[in-house]
Amino acid sequence: MMERKDLFKKVGSLIEEEPRLVRLSPQGKAVFVGDTHGDLEAAQEVIRRYLKKPYTIVFLGDYVDRGDRSRENIHFLLGMKLMHPDKIFLLAGNHEGFQAKPFYPVNFWDSLSLEEVEEY
């Protein structure tokens, strides 16, 4: 398994190169997935079912908080994005924007050290 800092660096570079507007191909089908909130099994099931032709998967954000496996969920989704950059798109939801606009309750962000908050 890739170290967290390496994963963040590689995915960050990949995402910075992508245009801000997601353009989906007129061919095929798109699956939109919202609010997995730490439900790793749900995210894995979506990948299992739809990471194949003719699908493109667009995750709509809110990968953390509320569920027990927020850290594993976000790491899994980032790893999948790295392996399948043209088939998986990860949008940021309000739970990923906690540093910009804090809100409560949050269990993921409260569980992190200050260094980890900066990394995420």
Q: What is the pLDDT of residues 51-106, one digit of tens each?
A: 999 999 999 999 999 888 999 999 999 999 999 999 999 999 888 887 778 888 88
Average pLDDT for 97-116: 86
3-state SS class at 6: helix
> Whole-model pTM above 0.75?
yes
Closest CA to 36 of 88, 112, 1: 88
Quickly tell me which residue has 């995915």 as its tokens: 11
Residue 31's CATH number: 3.60.21.10
Closest CA to 7 of 93, 65, 81: 81
Q: Which residues, other chains included, contact 35 with Cβ-Cβ below 8 Å and sequence gap of 6+?
A: 60, 61, 62, 93
Look at the chain and report how many structural domains it folds into. 1
pLDDT of residue 67: 84
Catalytic, 37? Answer no
- Residues of the chain with pLDDT > 70: what percent? 99
Choose the catalytic residue: 37, 75, 84, 95. 95
Per the structure, the complete domain to which residue 61 belongs is given by: 4-119
pLDDT of residue 1: 66
